[in-house]
Structure 1
C-alpha cells in the first residue's frame, strides 16, 4: 500500500493511529470529509510520506512537533480545520506556505502573519464557507459591476446626445433621428382625387 485517497466522502470519526504501520505509504489524502479529533502523532512515523492532505475536515488541537520527522514530506495541506496553537518548525515544515494552513483561525507563527502570544479581541470565529456561498458572493459582486458599467455607458451616451441637440439647436434633427430608428409608412397623397378635379 503506497497511496490512499479517500477524499470527498462522508467519513466520520478520528484518523486511525494504525496508519503508522503502512511504512511504504507516500501519499495520504483524507480531505473533504467529516473527520474529527486531533492529528495523531503516530503519522510522524511515516518516514516515506511525501504528500499529506487533511484539509476540509473538523480536526482540532495542535499540529504536533512529531510530524516534522517526515523527512520526505513535500506537500502538506491542513487548511480549513479548527487547529490551534503554533505551527511547528523544522525540516520540511520550514518550506510550506500560507495555503497549507489557511482557514485555521487560531493557528499562529510562521509562515502566517499572526504571531503567537497575541490576542485579537475583534476576532469572531466564523463557520467554514461552503462552495455555494462562495459562488453566490462572486455572482453578487459580478452583477454589481455590471450595474455600474451599464449606468456609466448610459450616462456617456445620454451626455453625447444632449450635447448634439444643443449644438445644432434643431428639434427637426432630433425628430429625424428617431424616425430613422423607428421607420413607419407614410401615407401617399391621393392622386385619383386630384385627377378627377382636373
Structure 2
C-alpha cells in the first residue's frame, strides 16, 4: 500500500504590487496558495500573476517556485498590470541601499527631569518584529552592583574557610598514627 506524500511545508515569500509598495510577508506551500495569499494580502483581484521582483521572470510552475530560496521578493500583478523595473530618481541615480535584515538601536534616555543619569534602552527590529528592552536605572544598577559585591565577598570568605579547613585536616591526618595496619607477629 502506498502512503500519501506529505504536503510540503509552507515557505515564506515577500510580495508587493506593481507600484512596489511596502512588501508583505506571506506563507505558502504551493503556487496556487501563494497566488491566493498574495491577492488577499495586497487586495488584488484574481487571477494574479507572480514575477520575480529583480528581473520580472514569471513564476508559473511549481518546480520553479520550489527552486526559489525562502524570502524571495515577488511582484504580484493583477489583470492588465505588467512588470516594470524599479524606478530610480534623477536626483539620486544610485538605488537606495538595502535596509538589511536587522536593526539594533542603543540609547540612553531620561525617564524624567529628576533623573541625572537615565536608563539604557535597547531596541532591536528583525524583519518587522520589534523588541524593546529598557535597562536598569542607576538606582537599581547600584543595588545590583552592591549585591554582587556582597556575593563576591561571601564567596571569597567561604573559599578561604574551606582552604583553612582542608589544611587543618591535612595536618591532623599527617600527625596522627596510622591505624588499620596489619600487626606483624
Taking structure 2 as the reference length, what is the TM-score of the superposition? Answer: 0.29
Structure with larger RCO (C-alpha < 8 A, sep 6+):
2
Q: Which structure is higher in strand share? A: 2
Larger helix proportion of the pair: 1
